[in-house]
Structure 1
Amino acid sequence: MTERKKLGRNQKDTNDDMINLVDNLNRDDDLKYNRRTFLKTAAGASMALGLATLPFSVKAMLNLNEDVEKVFIANLSDVPKGESFNFTYPTEAEPALLVHTKDGELKAYNNKCTHLQCPVFYEKEENVLLCPCHKGYFNVNSGQPMAGPPQRELPMIELEVSNGKVYAVGRKIRHG
């Protein structure tokens, strides 16, 4: 058998092993697509994304919400203890729920479940906020999810009571 036939099918007919190792490399591609270039590009993209979100982070940290005016919700006498009242806030398209708890506290939340935006109702027997779509339960005092698929709390509406009238004066979207 000749020496040529003894060679494996992927080996070249040469004695220099280094040629067999670098056949598939192109010097231009090696300089263009190396680790250093990749890391520089990744770091630059990360910095660009971080800087792009900086104004939003500063706004959230400083709580620079838009100036929300005081909006009349209801007379305190119209919402007895253990009852709820539906209203819209901060716009006409956003439903909200005012709850006068059995303890006499006033709580207000946006009336959309944080799972799939189904309406939320006050269950006075269990003193919870209920989303009937997927049986999600929220704590009436904090808006935190207690059971079911919702993972985030309901956005809380800040209230002010003046001369027997209940006003909405702001909204807090909390996470965690």
Structure 2
Amino acid sequence: MSKEQKGKRNQKETREDMVGLIHNLERDEDLKFNRRSFLKSAVGATVTLGVATLPFSVLALQDKEKDDNRKEIAKLADIPKDSAINFQYPTESEPAILVHTKDGELKAYNNKCTHLQCPVFYEKEESVLLCPCHRGFFSVDNGHPLAGPPQRELPLIDIQVENGVVYAVGRQIRHG
């Protein structure tokens, strides 16, 4: 190192030296496109999107499922014991069956055999659900297959009785 360079090392910096140090800070493109600005923009966009979707999240979390899936089936007085009626649930294209057993219990299932989707009928004499296509039998109590080719149980439809009216309120697709 020369004497001149050593001498400058201990000298007080001049304005010209400082201009060289801050030259990059005065450039507009560096101020617009630096890492800090990018991160601020990314966090701001994330917070804005989160706040914008908050009302939709609150609506989705509200418990409206009970009213949406609830459908009137029939009046309890119109369904004698040891009989069954057909209805559509949860949509108009999906058949279902409601059985009023000998013991006075109400059981509802999808009205399609789990083997080949044939309709299922209530057999009073044996108190079972019968699929006539391939002689499949299901238990009225729980929808499990008793005999024939079906291997899976019928999907159960949850029902409620209020003020003498039977309502379908949900469906359970069970496996096992």
> Do they superpose with TM above 0.5?
yes
Match of 2:103 in 1: 103
Letter in 2 for 1:167: Y
Matches for 1:122-137 after TM superposition, within 5 Å: 122-137=122-137
Aligned-partner SS, 1:77: helix
Which structure is larger by alpha-carbon Rg, 1 or 2? Answer: 2
Match of 1:121 in 2: 121
Match of 2:38 in 1: none
| Residue 105 (structure 2) pairs with residue 77 (structure 1) | no
Letter in 2 for 1:130: L
Match of 2:171 in 1: 171
Shift of 1:69: 2.2
- RMSD (Å) for aligned C-alpha atoms: 1.0
- C-alpha separation between the residues in 2 aligned to 1:99 and 1:145? 16
After superposing on structure 2, the runs of 4+ consecutive aligned residues of structure 1 that deviate more than 6 Å are none
Shift of 1:94: 0.1
- How many residue pairs get aligned? The number is 111
- C-alpha separation between the residues in 1 aligned to 2:168 and 2:96? 10
- C-alpha separation between the residues in 2 aligned to 1:156 and 1:92? 17
Shift of 1:160: 0.2
Identity of aligned residues (%): 71
Give me the TM-score of the superposition, normalised by structure 1. Answer: 0.62
- C-alpha separation between the residues in 1 aligned to 2:172 and 2:75? 23
1:44-99: per-residue Cα shift (whole Å, max 9, x none)?
A: xxxxxxxxxxxxxxxxxxxxxx9342100000011100000000000000000000
Give me the TM-score of the superposition, normalised by structure 2. Answer: 0.62
- C-alpha separation between the residues in 1 aligned to 2:72 and 2:148? 33
Match of 1:54 in 2: none
Unpaired runs of 5+ in structure 1? 1-65
